[in-house]
Amino acid sequence: MTQMMNGKVVVVTGAGGGIGREIARAMAAEGAAVVVNDIGTSTSGEGQDAGPADTVVREIREAGGQAVANTDSVADAAGAARIVACAVDTFGRIDGVVNNAGILRDRFFHKMSQDEWDAVIRVHLYGSYYVSRAAALHFKEQESGAFVHMTSTSGLIGNFGQANYSAAKLGLVALSKSIALDMQKFQVRSNCIAPFAWSRMIGSIPTDTPEQQARVAKIQQMTPDKIAPLAVYLLSDAARDVNAQVFAVRNNEIFVMSQPRPLRSVHRGEGWTPAFIAEHGMPALKSSFVPMERSADVFSWDPV
């Protein structure tokens, strides 16, 4: 059977563990040469360690695949450029990017510091922009290429204590859509995946009560390797007609997610006053209000 990624070169950021590791391994198993990027920090972004990236490269090579480690930071424009250059210098080209690198600095909004805001936005949103921008010039020149950006239902739907993370992840959806629109004439595609998976990024979920323990047990069923097949598919030529979409993966389920569109409208030929909006406009719209739900409220059933 032909491997779906034969001859392709891909960059996977944050590939030293969790979802990124599984994506990198799956890309290599399907024939891709992989740049395994990871600076080896803690989940909150502290420290640096080449070990995780080197370990994944070793695993790929032992399985007969091609890979090279890179420890540059996506949060720095020059670092991101070096990540893409690593692919081109080592393997001669670049065909795909998975923007997976991320950190967490969870805090309720009224307590969140500017540093906690900046750090998360810089890695998730700036990092994805920097790496994508560096790859975009190569993609435009060769008139081919694909991006996969890892978003989150924390941004698409909502969650407690994650204003920084949620803002970055929803911003990524808009970035992906803009890339798709701007670069479709060069046969370049850009899609998002919102993963449900147990990894060290969510390993800090409390388990103090039986309810919390049961919730974590369900999440632990959703292993990172469940995310990898869709990422491989989206970077392959088999997905040439799939562009500007947002998918979610939850254990064995794949969802295509809605994107903001008008739900209902009201019109008044004479125009609106604040009082008339209060008396007539808003009551007419209220039945279509989006509920104030979190991700767990929308995806309320057990993983399938």
Catalytic residues: 165
Alpha carbon of 213 to those of 59, 205, 209, 218: distances in Å?
A: 32, 9, 6, 9
How far apart CA 183 and CA 38 sit, in angstroms, is: 27
Contact criterion met (CB below 8 Å) for 140 and 156: no
Contact criterion met (CB below 8 Å) for 16 and 247: no
Q: Which residue has the tokens 């070169």?
A: 9
Q: Which residue has the tokens 């992906």?
A: 176
Count of CB atoms within 10 A of residue 242's CB? 15
Max Cα separation, the chain?
73
Helix or strand holding residue 70 (H, E): strand 66-70
Alpha carbon of 78 to those of 81, 83, 265: distances in Å?
A: 5, 9, 46
How far apart CA 301 and CA 294 sit, in angstroms, is: 14
Q: Which residue has the tokens 């009224």?
A: 110
Give 68's Cβ-side CA count (13 Å radius).
18
